[in-house]
Amino acid sequence: MSRLFANGLLKLRRRDFLKAATIATAAMGLPVTMVDKVTAALESPKRPPVIWLHFMECTGCTESLLRTSHPDVATLILDLVSLEYHETLMAAAGHQAEENLKRAIEKYRGEFICVVEGGISTKDGGIYCKIGGRTALEILQHVGSEASSIIAIGTCAAFGGVQAAAPNPTGAVGVRDIIKDKPIINVPGCPPNGYNILATIVYILTFKRPPDVDALGRPKFAYGRRIHDHCERRAHFDEGRFVEQFGDEGHKKGYCLYKVGCKGPVTYANCPTQRFCDAGVWPVAAGHGCIGCTEPNFWDQMIPFYEHVPGVEVPSGQGIVGKAERIGKFAIGAAAAGIAIHAAAGAIKKATTKEKEE
């Protein structure tokens, strides 16, 4: 898009480039000594080809890239990779855009990275999402089969996303449900932090292999710890100091949001450390609980958003950290059924009646 064009005009100076490489290195959790390696990978004369597909989505993931600054999306696309196809960002459209896609697949068969944004409709032959006359399902099967690896960005591409919420009227699924024979890296979030997307791509370019991932295919450098682990409100949780209702005294003092629905204890993501929009913010810092948007089927598993997560043992105001460690072992999923919510609610209420003031 024009933004990229514009930034292309501003040729990256060497110093800026090194800054970008250093930040990318830090974002991946690598030591400073790795900067040279990252720089070398990024400076290779042939920019690695990337094909970016949009399916059932809201463009929020691409938008989140537009809100990064170091490096910004233009640097990524003009200096770090060769973006062969991207519906929202490319200037070409229509038939010529489709030709670009075809040509890129032929030229870079088995070499290119495929980035997918959006879920894939499988019901009724996939007719609920068509681009250029073809269904998303057909396009993914075709392009995905020729890629070296696939990065599924956003919870839609990773796990089906909002349209896959019950009753999933369009039969929406994630990439991993369609493509079975390729490495797929999931970068979920609704949308994911732009820096997590950037760092995943740069990691692959640097090490020529996917980053270490968890059981759900998520890079450990961004999804290795629970929100709860690095949350700035964690001390209040450990001390049993909770917000009971938005705007109450606890809320005005920055207490823990667990009881007003925060899903931080069962959600793996780096929001508390990475933060958003270079504005030093994330939802929990602002005063709203985490909604668990990096977890599979969170639209089914994490609702109601304003009821607390069941099965979490809450410190009873004794400042005990130990019990909370078990929270991570709590499996979201079937266990999060309504019955459990009510059962646990009683226990928690009991456990937290003796909340301590500061």
CA–CA dist 199, 221 (Å, integer): 9
| Closest listed residue to residue 201, CA positions, set 42, 17, 31 | 42
| Closest listed residue to residue 211, CA positions, set 19, 23, 29, 21 | 29
Q: In this structure, are residues 347 and 248 in contact, taking their beta carbons and an 8 Å threshold?
A: no
Cβ closest to other proteins, residue 93 vs residue 321: 93
Provide the minimum distance between the beta carbon of 162 and other proteins in the complex, in angstroms, as a whole number. Answer: 4
CA–CA dist 236, 82 (Å, integer): 47
Cβ closest to other proteins, residue 277 vs residue 343: 277
Cβ closest to other proteins, residue 119 vs residue 217: 119
Q: In this structure, are residues 127 and 111 in contact, taking their beta carbons and an 8 Å threshold?
A: no
Provide the minimum distance between the beta carbon of 60 and other proteins in the complex, in angstroms, as a whole number. Answer: 2
Residues 6+ apart with CB under 8 A from 329: none
| Closest listed residue to residue 213, CA positions, set 223, 225, 202 | 223
Cβ closest to other proteins, residue 281 vs residue 321: 281
Provide the minimum distance between the beta carbon of 152 and other proteins in the complex, in angstroms, as a whole number. Answer: 16
Element holding 153 (H helix, E strand): strand 149-153
Supply 353's token pair: 């009646």
Provide the minimum distance between the beta carbon of 17 and other proteins in the complex, in angstroms, as a whole number. Answer: 16
Query: How far is CA 154 from its chain centroid?
Result: 5
Cβ closest to other proteins, residue 220 vs residue 252: 252
Provide the minimum distance between the beta carbon of 69 and other proteins in the complex, in angstroms, as a whole number. Answer: 7
Residue-level length of the chain: 358
Cβ closest to other proteins, residue 43 vs residue 325: 43
Provide the minimum distance between the beta carbon of 23 and other proteins in the complex, in angstroms, as a whole number. Answer: 16
Provide the minimum distance between the beta carbon of 285 and other proteins in the complex, in angstroms, as a whole number. Answer: 7
Q: In this structure, are residues 118 and 52 in contact, taking their beta carbons and an 8 Å threshold?
A: no
Cβ closest to other proteins, residue 30 vs residue 243: 243
First to last CA, the chain: 51
